[in-house]
Structure 1
Amino acid sequence: MNRKALSALLVLLLSVSPAWAQQEPLPDQPYVLKTTATIHILDIVVTDKKGKVYTNLKQDDFTIYEDAVEQRIRSFEPPSKHTMPEGSGLVVKSSADLPKIGAAPVTILVLDDLNTSFENMAYARNRIQKYLEAQPAVMKQPTTLLAATNTKFVVVKDFTQDRAELLTALHKYFPEYPWKQMKSGGGGSGAFERMGESLNSLYSMAEAFRGTPGRKTVLWVGKGFPAVDLLNLDTSSTILLQAGIKRITNALLDSRITLYTIDPSSQLGTIGVIGTSDDLQDYETRNDGQPFSDEINFSTLAPATGGKAFFSRNDIDAEVAEGTEAGSNYYTISYTPSNPPKPGEEYRQIRIKMRDPSLTAVTRDGYYPPDPHVDATGAPIPRTPKEQRDELEAEMGKAAMSTLAYNGLLLSLAPADGGKVKLGVASGGLKWTDEPSGKTRAEITVLQVAFSSKDKALAHSSQELSAEVMGRIQNPDQKAYFLIPVQMPPGTTRLRVVVRDAVNGKIGTVELLTGGK
C-alpha cells in the first residue's frame, strides 16, 4: 500500500486526536479505556422459507452455539418486549426523549454522499421520500436522518416519530457534490481516506447511541468505501487495517447496531459479493473461519452484524422497509460463553439452530475476542499512560466535534453564577467503586468546547472530576452535580460538553445555546 494512503487511513481509523486537543493535554495518569463484557446479547430475526417473520416462538425453540459449543441461555425476550409504550402516540421528538421508550428499537437512516455518485443519491433520496410518505403520521419507530459528506458526518434530522418533520428535513437537505469519490474512484489515498471516514462514521454511531438499550437498525444508503484487497498489501499494512476493522466491528456489536447496506447503483457484477449471513458463513468456511481474511468490503459489515446487503435493485423504498421491519420484530437472547476465548484466538463464530428446521434465525455472525494492541509485526505493544491519554483525547475530541448527541451518559446543563455551569450526570450510567471509608466513588473526564455560529471551535478546556456518596446509589436516575467554570469568548453561540466515565468508557454530550452573547 502507498504509505501516504495508509497514513491518511490510519489517522482517521485509529483515532488520532484533533489538532486542538494536543494544545492542552489531560492529566498525566493512566485511564481504563474499555471494558469487556462476558455476557453476549443476540438480537435475532426468525423467518420461514418465504421470508415471513415469526414472532411467537419460545426459548426452547433456540439453541445457541459459539465455536461449535452449545451455550446455556441466560435470558430470553420475545418481540413483544421490544415495543413502544402502549397508546403513547408521539413520544420521541428528539434524542432527549429516547429514555422514554425503554428497549424499543430505533431506526437510523444514513445518506452516503461521500462514496456515491450525485445521480445515484438523487434517486435514493427520491425513494427514501417515497418510503417516508408511506408511513403513518406518527412513525412506529423513532427515526433519525444522518449524512456522510466530503467533510463531516452530520445530523440532518434528530430522532423523531414525526413523519412530516423527517420529510421536511429531507427536502431541505442539499447534498454536497461527491468530489472525493469523483477524484479518487476506487484507489489511491483518497479512496483510503473515504474508507477511514466511513468507518469512523460507523464508530461514532456506536459510541453515540450506546445509551439506547434496544436494537439500532442502521440503513446505510450508498455504495460505502471501495473494497481493499489485503492479498496485495504488505504484512504491516494488513495487520493495521485488520486491527481497525476488528475495533469497528466489535463497537457496532457492543452497541447492538445491525447494519443494512443499500447500494442504489445498478451493479451487474455482484456475483461472489457477501450480502447475507449464508454468504458470510460460506466465505468463512473457505477462509479459516475469518470474515475479513483477504478483503475488507463495506457490505460484509452488514451480515457480520446480523443485517443484509442489498444490491442491484431499484426499489430502495422496499429495501428500507424490509430492514426496518426486521428491526421491529426480533428476539433477544443472552449467554455467557462456557468456552471462553483462548489467548491469540482471532474470531469466535456464533450460530443458532432452530428446533423447527424450516425456520431461519439471523443474528450477529460472531465477535473478535479482546486483543492487545500490536505493532506491524503482530507483537503486543505495552499500553503506556501517554498512549492511553492520546486515545482518550481522540475519543472525546471526536465526540466534541460531532453533531451527534451521545447518550452513553445522560446529562443536563444549566447556567450558574460566577461564570460557571451546573452539570448533572445520571448516576445509573456511572461506574461507582467502593472506598475504604464506606463511600462509593465515580470519576469522570469533562471536555468543554465553545463554538461560533459557523461551528468553529473558539475555546476548550478539560478537567478530571469525581463524586462520592455514602453507601450505594439506589436510584439510577439520581444525578451527581458538578459546578464547572466555562470559557465562552465573544461570538460563542453554543457550548458543547463531553463527559466520559473513567472506568466504563461511556460518553455523554450536552449543549447549552448562548445566542452569541
Structure 2
Amino acid sequence: MLSARAVLSGALLLSALVFQAAEAQSAPSSNQPPASDVSTLHVTSQLVFLDVTVLDAKGHPVVSGLTQNDFTITQDKKPQKIFSFEAPDAHIITADSSASKAPVTIFVLDRLNSTFEQLAYIRYCMDKYLANQPLELDAPAEVMVLGNESLEMVQGYTRNKQELLSAVDHLPSVIPYKDTRSFFAERFVQSIDGLRQIALENSGVPGRKNIVWIGHGGPSLYTSLLDDITADKVTTYIHQTANMLVNSRMSLFLIYPGLEVANPLGRPTSVISAELPIGDDDPFSGDVNFGVFVNETGGQLFYNRNDLDQLIRTSIELGSHYYTLTYQPPENIANGKFLRVRVTMRNPALHVLTKAGYFAPDKGQPSDPRFDALYHIAEAAQADVPFSSLGLTVQKVVRHRDTNSAEITVAVNTKDIGWKPRNDGKSTVDIGFAAASLSARHDILASKTEALTLINASQDSDHLEKVQGHLTMALRIPRRTRSVRLVVGSLVGGRIGSVDVDRKTIDAASDVPTPEPKLIMQPAKAPPPR
C-alpha cells in the first residue's frame, strides 16, 4: 500500500514539482501574459463558462449556421437558461479586433514521463509543426517543459514563430531518468502539479486556453489501493486541480509520442479512460489519470499515431473553433459534490466537446496557507515593486549562450525565514524559489518555480540568525529579455525577498557551455549483516 508521504510528497504545494533537500551553508550575514486582477480559484456559481466545440459526423468542427437555440444546457439533468452566446468568429484575431478573446495555446513537452528517444521525437515533431506555420501565428502560444524536477516556461506567449522555434531548438540536453516504477509517486505528483501551475499562471489570462501536452502525462493512480485518509487527501487535491483548470477555461489535449503497436502491456489506462463516457458521479473516483482530465476539460487524447505534427494541428483546430455559452446556476451549492454539466444539440447528428462539470465548493475543507504563499511568490516574480522581508543578493551569474540561458546564484539571509526544529536535532524550512525573464513592459518571457526544503544541522537560534542559503536557478533568457527577477519566500509566514538582474549584467557574465547531462551513480549498499 502506498503511504501518504509517498503520494503526497508535494501535493499540498501549488507549484512544488518536487521537494529538494538543500543544506543551507553557515556564513556571516552579508549586506551585499499582461498582468490582470487575481481571480478566485473556486468555481463561482455566478456564471459558468462553457467553451463548446461542435463536431459533425466526420469529426470536423462546425463553425457557422448555429444559433443559441441549437444548444441545450443541463446541470445535474436540470435545464439551464443560456445567459450569453458567442459564435466562433468572435474568437478570431483580426486587424481591427483585440486578441483578448482569441484562444491561446500552451505547448507542454513532457520530459518527465518520456524516454530519451521519445523526447527527441517530440522535439523533432514540434520543430516540424512550427516550421510549417506562418511567421506570425494566428493566436498566441507559449512553450513549457515538464522536466525531472520542475515545470519551466521556456517561451512566454508570443505569435512570433521564430521565438517559439528558438525556445525548442535551444532546450538543453537532459536525461529523463524518472520514467520507471521506482519514481511512480514523484511522477504522479509532479505531473498533476504541472497542470495546477499552468492553471495558476493563466488564471488572469482572458478567454479559452488549450494545453497541448505532448507525452504520456502522469501515471495512473488507483485510489482503492490507498488507505482512507490518504485517499481522501488525494481526492481533495484532484478535485481542486480539476476546478482550477475549469475555472481558467482550459482544455487538455494529450498526444502520445509515436506508435506503440507492439506494446505488450496493452493500451495505457489513460487511453481507456479518455474513451469512456463520464456519468453523473465523480469522474475521478477509483482511478486518477490524465485521460480523465482530458474528458473533464473537453479536450481529446491521441494514441498510437506517428504524425505528431498533424495531431498538434488537429488539437489547435479543435480548441480554436468553438462557441462560448454561459449560464447562471440557480443554487449556491457548497457540498463539494460533482455537478455534471451537459450540452446537447438540437441536431442529433452533431456532438460536442466541452467540460463535463465541476466540483461545488466544500466549506468544510480548510485552505492550505502554503498554497497561498506559493501563489504570492509567483505573483511577486512579475511585480514592479521590490520585496525586502527576506534579504537577497546576487552572488554569481553564468551565461550559457548555446542554450540561450543563464544560471544565477543568490544568497538568502535566513534570519527571519521561520526555521522549525526537527526531532533529529536539525532545523528545516520550506521555501518557494521563482524566477522570471521579463520584457521591457514586464511581460513574462520565461519562468520557473520550485519548492525547496532548506535544512541546517543546528537548532541554535544565534547560529540560525547568521545562516545563508545559497540557491541557483537556471532560466532561459529569450531575445526580448530586459531583466530577470528572482524571488524567495517562506511557505509558512509569508516573508518574501526579491532581487533583479539587468540584461547588461547577464550579457557581461562569463559564457560557458551548458553542462552535459550526467547520471549520478549511487555507491553500492553494503550487504546486511548475517
TM-score by length of 1: 0.69
Q: Distance in 2 between matches of 1:81 and 1:123?
A: 36
Summarize the alignment of residues 270-309 of structure 1 with structure 2, pairs less than 5 Å apart: 270=267, 273-274=270-271, 279-281=275-277, 284-285=278-279, 289-309=281-301
CA contact (8 A) 1:252 1:258 kept: yes
Q: Distance in 2 between matches of 1:202 and 1:511?
A: 28
Show the counterpart of 2:83. 74
Q: Distance in 1 between matches of 2:123 and 2:90?
A: 33
1:391 corresponds, among 371, 380, 404, to: 371
User: Are the structure 2 counterparts of residues 272 and 159 from structure 1 closer, same or farther at C-alpha, using a change threshold of 3 Å?
Assistant: closer
> What whole-Å deviation, never above 9, does each CA across 1:236-288 have from its counterpart, x for those lacking one?
221111111111111011111111011114334228755687x342xx44xx6
CA contact (8 A) 1:209 1:255 kept: yes
User: Are the structure 2 counterparts of residues 365 and 85 from structure 1 closer, same or farther at C-alpha, using a change threshold of 3 Å?
Assistant: same
User: Are the structure 2 counterparts of residues 267 and 242 from structure 1 closer, same or farther at C-alpha, using a change threshold of 3 Å?
Assistant: farther
Q: Distance in 1 between matches of 2:310 and 2:87?
A: 25
CA contact (8 A) 2:270 2:290 kept: no
Q: Could you tell me which runs of 5 or more consecutive residues in structure 2 were left unpaired when the two chains were aligned.
A: 25-38, 398-406, 418-469, 474-482, 490-496, 510-530
User: Are the structure 2 counterparts of residues 341 and 11 from structure 1 closer, same or farther at C-alpha, using a change threshold of 3 Å?
Assistant: same
Show the counterpart of 1:215. 208
In proportion to residue count, which structure has more helix? 1
User: Are the structure 2 counterparts of residues 83 and 511 from structure 1 closer, same or farther at C-alpha, using a change threshold of 3 Å?
Assistant: farther
Q: How many residues matched?
A: 403
Task: Report deviation, 1:53.
Answer: 1.1
CA contact (8 A) 1:448 1:496 kept: no
Q: Distance in 2 between matches of 1:347 and 1:449?
A: 44
1:334 corresponds, among 322, 326, 341, to: 326
Paired residue type of 2:172: F
Paired residue type of 1:49: A
Summarize the alignment of residues 41-440 of structure 1 with structure 2, pairs less than 5 Å apart: 41-56=49-64, 57-86=66-95, 101-181=99-179, 184-185=180-181, 188=182, 190-268=183-261, 269-270=266-267, 273-274=270-271, 279-281=275-277, 284-285=278-279, 289-341=281-333, 343=335, 346-372=337-363, 380=364, 383=366, 389-397=369-377, 411-412=383-384
Paired residue type of 2:329: P
Identity of aligned residues (%): 29
CA contact (8 A) 1:448 1:498 kept: no
Secondary structure in 1 matching 2:294: helix
Give the CA RMSD over aligned residues. Answer: 3.7
Q: Distance in 1 between matches of 2:384 and 2:272?
A: 42
Q: Distance in 1 between matches of 2:40 and 2:59?
A: 41
CA contact (8 A) 1:47 1:360 kept: yes
CA contact (8 A) 2:114 2:216 kept: yes
Q: Distance in 1 between matches of 2:104 and 2:40?
A: 27
User: Are the structure 2 counterparts of residues 396 and 220 from structure 1 closer, same or farther at C-alpha, using a change threshold of 3 Å?
Assistant: same
Secondary structure in 2 matching 1:2: coil
User: Are the structure 2 counterparts of residues 399 and 447 from structure 1 closer, same or farther at C-alpha, using a change threshold of 3 Å?
Assistant: farther
Secondary structure in 1 matching 2:13: coil
> What whole-Å deviation, never above 9, does each CA across 1:165-221 have from its counterpart, x for those lacking one?
22222111134111122xx33xx4x21111111111111111111111111111010
Q: Distance in 2 between matches of 1:45 and 1:446?
A: 48
CA contact (8 A) 1:259 1:305 kept: yes
CA contact (8 A) 1:412 1:510 kept: no
* 2:10 corresponds to 1:2: no
User: Are the structure 2 counterparts of residues 304 and 510 from structure 1 closer, same or farther at C-alpha, using a change threshold of 3 Å?
Assistant: farther
Show the counterpart of 2:411. 458
User: Are the structure 2 counterparts of residues 236 and 273 from structure 1 closer, same or farther at C-alpha, using a change threshold of 3 Å?
Assistant: same
CA contact (8 A) 2:270 2:289 kept: no
TM-score by length of 2: 0.68
Q: Distance in 2 between matches of 1:2 and 1:50?
A: 44
User: Are the structure 2 counterparts of residues 275 and 209 from structure 1 closer, same or farther at C-alpha, using a change threshold of 3 Å?
Assistant: farther
2:485 corresponds, among 483, 495, 500, to: 495
Task: Report deviation, 1:147.
Answer: 0.3
User: Are the structure 2 counterparts of residues 236 and 457 from structure 1 closer, same or farther at C-alpha, using a change threshold of 3 Å?
Assistant: farther
